[in-house]
Amino acid sequence: MASIVSLPEGNLSCSVCRDIFRDPVILSCRHSFCKVCLLELWKHKEVLECPLCRRRSSLELPFNLNLKRQCEAVLQERSREDTTEVSEVLCNLHNEKLFCLEDQQLLCLKCKALKKNTNDGLSQIDKAAKNYKEELQTALKPLQGNLKAFHKVIQSCHQAAENITSKAQHTEKQIKKQFEKLHQFLKDEEAESIAALREEEEQKNKTAKEKIEEMCREMSSLSETIRAIEEDLRAEDNSFLQNYKVTVKRTQYTMPDLESVSGPLINVAKHLGNLQFKVWEKMQEIVQYIWTPILPIRVSACLKI
């Protein structure tokens, strides 16, 4: 028992009432509190949690028997000390025991007379104790009110923290939703721009193919003309001269404009010029400006009692 009493009393104090534990109960998080203090703190709460670590708990509150024994030992030791102090203060020579209101101490009437004090400043112990207890009860009420105010404000701050987390999660979902719309819009615009490019590519390739076929026909005709002229050159003089006029007409060939034959290339400026600006103009049609009032946390309101 001596080892129990020698423990520091700070370790035996309830963190709610700051006094020695009375009927201590232990939570699942291993923190202990006075049963009365804990039930009073949970009276208006929907979620039951440890006042220290905020871990959730249930109404099953087993007694911390080991801690209770230690606290009882400390209280008994205090009681013995108080009894010893009173016995030392009270007079051992006389039976009358009074309380001196002036000196704020216990003594007997005869000892008071020896100190040359009148009886006006004396009171019966039970009466003096009753009066002083009533005064302390009156002085205690504002302190108890302050403690309740602290509990109320702390509860409000916890609720504000939960609201902040909830609002942040909701806003995060809205942000993702808005960016998904923008991503889809950009994908559609990209697909549309590439489709326009592919269409122009197909048209230009078709035109180039037609030009190639036309040039092939021109080459084939020119090759036939050259072959005929070469045959006339190898013919006998009489035959050559007889067909000369026709052969000369064959040499009168007009060459097409080969530079224009290749046709126009892809109009890169059409597809890339001001592309970002055009997309931004279209984007403005789908962008939604959402105004959400921001309610800052008022720390002063949380701390004001």
C-beta atoms surrounding 56 within 10 Å = 11
On whether the CB atoms of residues 74 and 14 are closer than 8 A, the answer is no
Q: Which of 226, 255, 223, 228 is nearest to 239 (CA)?
A: 228
DSSP 40: H
Q: Is the pLDDT of residue 3 over 60?
A: no
Q: Is the pLDDT of residue 108 over 80?
A: no
Host H or E run for residue 87 = helix 65-89
On whether the CB atoms of residues 250 and 228 are closer than 8 A, the answer is yes
Three-state DSSP class for residue 284: helix
Domain regions of the chain by residue span? 1-88
Radius of gyration of the chain (CA): 53
Q: Distance (Å, rounded) from C-alpha 223 to C-alpha 218?
A: 8
DSSP H helical ranges for 108-263: 109-114, 125-234, 237-242, 244-251, 258-261
Backbone angles phi, psi at 33, to 5 degrees: -150, 160
Q: Which residue has the higher pLDDT, 2 or 64?
A: 64
Q: How confident is the model at residue 119 (pLDDT cuts 50, 70, 90)?
A: low
On whether the CB atoms of residues 266 and 204 are closer than 8 A, the answer is yes
Q: Distance (Å, rounded) from C-alpha 63 to C-alpha 66?
A: 9
For residue range 74-98, list pLDDT tens digits in order. Answer: 888 877 765 554 444 445 444 456 7
The mean pLDDT value for 168-172 works out to 91
On whether the CB atoms of residues 36 and 23 are closer than 8 A, the answer is yes
DSSP 254: P
Q: Which CATH class is domain 1-88?
A: alpha beta
**CB half-sphere exposure, 280, CA atoms < 13 A:** 4
On whether the CB atoms of residues 103 and 111 are closer than 8 A, the answer is no
Single-letter amino acid code for the residue at 63: F
The mean pLDDT value for 229-236 works out to 89
| pTM score, whole prediction | 0.41
Q: What is the pLDDT of residue 40?
A: 87
In DSSP terms, which residues pair with 24 in a beta bridge?
34
Residue 248 has which token pair? 């000369």
The mean pLDDT value for 19-43 works out to 89
Question: Please, what is the average pLDDT of the chain?
Answer: 78
Residue 122 has which token pair? 């004396």
